[in-house]
Structures are given as C-alpha cells and as structure tokens.
Amino acid sequence: MNILEIEGLKKKFGSHQVLDGLTIHVPEHSVFGFLGKNGAGKTTTMKIVLGLLKADAGEIRVCGERAVYGQTKTNRFIGYLPDVPEFYSYMSAVEYLRLCGRITGMSEKEIRRMSGELLELVGLKGVKKRIGGYSRGMKQRLGIAQALFHEPKLLICDEPTSALDPVGRREVLEIMEQVREKTTVIFSTHVLSDVERICDRVAVLNDGKSVMEGTLEEMKEKHKKDSLLLEFPRKELLKQFVEEPIFQNLLSRAKLEGCQVIIHAKDIEQAEAELIRGLNETRLMPSRLEILEPSLEGLFMEAIQ
C-alpha cells in the first residue's frame, strides 16, 4: 500500500512555476529520500501535503484520504519535522510534549509513557531547562520527538540534517534509522551521503517534476558502469597519452580533468583490454586505473541537467 500519493501537483509563486505536475508514490515502510537543488520545491511539496500551502492543481492522498488545504484532518497520520523547528521557548521539553499529546487527544497515561520513551530516544531525558536555552541540535532532536509523539504512520522531515554539525547530524540519522521499523519516513535533503546511508527509495526533483524515482539499487543498475578513470603522475604524460594515435578511438568520448582522464565506452571490458594493450605498447604508465562505480552524486548531476 502507498502511504502517500501525489498526483500531478502544480504550484506557482508569482511567475515562477515551482511544481509542474509532480507525481510521487511512497510505499509503506520505506525511507524515502526526496532530493533536489535548493529551491527545487521540496519544502513547498511538503507544506502542501501538510495543508499549510494551497496547490494550484493536483491531488494528494495520505493513507488513502485526500489532503485538503486549510484542513488538518489527514495530519493525524503525519508527523512533521520542519527544517528549523520552532517551539514555545518558555516551555520545557516535557511540557511541550504534553501540549502535543493533549491536542492530539492522547490520555495522560499515554502522554507520560510516550514522553519518557521519546525523550530517551532523542537523548533529552532529564533535561530540565526551557527550550529557549537549547542548541540547534537539541531543538532538532526535540523536533523528532514531537513529530513521533502521536505515533504517526508517516514521518516527514524537511532537511533534518542540513543545519547541524557532524555530531548532531550523526545523532539525527541514527534516530531516523531506529524509527524506520515503526513508520514510513520521507526525508528531503541535498546531502547525498545521508541519502546513501539511510534511504531505500529516492526521488529526484528538478524543474517541478520527479525526474528519477526508484530504489537506490534500481537506479544504480540502470546507470551501470560505463566509465574508466585513468590517472597519470604528471600532466606531460597525460598530454602524451592524449596525442598517441593508438588511443584516439577510445578518446572520442572522454573527459580531461587535471592529471585524469575519464573514458566512457559501451563495452567497458573491451575498452579496458584495448587500453591496457595500448599502454603496454606505448610504455605510458598510469598511476591509477579504475572502473568507476556510478555514484549517487553522478546520478543526481545527470538527473538535474
């Protein structure tokens, strides 16, 4: 079952078409990475799902129910962590969570149980001071706790790691890995290493559309290995290599960068054999020869071009 379905979503700010027929399906129990450049429309999409912004066209279903702007009915399925979560600074974490519990109609007993559990999970147990005195990382962690408080079926996180230092980022990612068993996570970011670490499905947003969608393996499979990297210790050697007539066939689709050359070929093994034979004949010895794995970064750059 799909926990979230977005069909043909359109949104325009002034003359700028931010979303132009975006369609995304998020299956249950996945960690869904939502990628895109700054300003690609990631936050806009999330806000529309949450009923905080009005869409110009398109339909959104959360757990099979239609999400409507201004109404917050479908939000009972959703936990939301904004990029910079804001709290009432004069409250303590426990008080804030109690408020969250009460407005979602939880019993006092449940509120106490969940507060204990979640504050433990995010490492804020026993912190007595008011939220006004929290660091950014602490606020982010409290943000996760409040988002998970009513045990949502869908957790939406808007760039949860981008404002954090390496320690804070690791903590947040670890928490998200822990909760994946209980809930589906959608997670927008432009930090690709985070995606590779915890996401199992990915969609890349560009020009208001999803230009690539699928599991990480599927995407890497589709863009299978087709490049060879060759590095020389000195630039003169590279120059010599490029000018050598024997390699001209291979170099027809190559890219030069510093002391490196990247060769693209349809049949990578044949190209490699040809290259090694040529290198042997010309006695040009590279310092490195490598078949390039398709990286998420490469896929991402390709997708948004």
Partner 1 sequence: MRAYTAYTAKELTEFTRTYKLLIIGLVFLLFGIMSPLAAKFMPELLTSFMPEGMQITIADPTALDSWMQFEKNISQIGLFVIVIVMSGMMAGEYSRGTLVNILTKGLPRRTVILSKFTAAVLLWTGAYLVCFGTAYAYTWFYWRKTVNTPGLTEAAFALWFFGVFLVAVTILGGVLVRTSYGTLLFTGLAVVAQFLLNMIPKVEKYNPIQLAAGGTPLLQGQLEAGSLVKPMIVAGACTVGCVVAACAVFHKKKL
Question: Three-state SS for 235?
Answer: helix
Binds partner 1 by CB under 8 A, chosen from 52, 127, 251, 289: 52
The residue within the footprint of partner 1, chosen from 57, 66, 72, 225 (CB under 8 A), is 72
Q: Of 33, 36, 41, 85, which one interacts with partner 1 (CB under 8 A)?
A: 85
Contact 157, 121 (CB under 8 A): no
Say how far apart CA 176 and CA 208 lie, in whole Å.
27
Residue 160 has which token pair?
């949860």
Measured between alpha carbons, how far is 127 from 135 in angstroms, rounded to an integer? 12
The reply on whether position 264 binds partner 1 by CB under 8 A is: no
Query: Is-contact 208 19, C-beta < 8 A?
Result: yes
* Per-residue mark of binding to partner 1, 89-118 (x: CB under 8 A): -xx---x---xx-xxxx-------------
Q: Are 274 and 206 in contact (CB under 8 A)?
A: no
Q: Are 47 and 53 in contact (CB under 8 A)?
A: yes
Q: What is the DSSP letter of 17?
A: E
Residue numbers 139-158 binding partner 1 by CB under 8 A: 143, 146, 149-150
- Joined together, the tokens standing for residue 51 give 């009923």
Q: How far is the CB of 146 from partner 1 (least distance, A)?
A: 6
Binding of residue 292 to partner 1 (CB under 8 A): no
Closer residue to partner 1, CB minimum distance, 109 or 224: 109
Q: Does 187 bind partner 1 (CB under 8 A)?
A: no
Binding site for partner 1 (CB under 8 A): 47, 50-54, 70, 72-73, 75-76, 78-80, 82, 84-88, 90-91, 95, 99-100, 102-105, 143, 146, 149-150
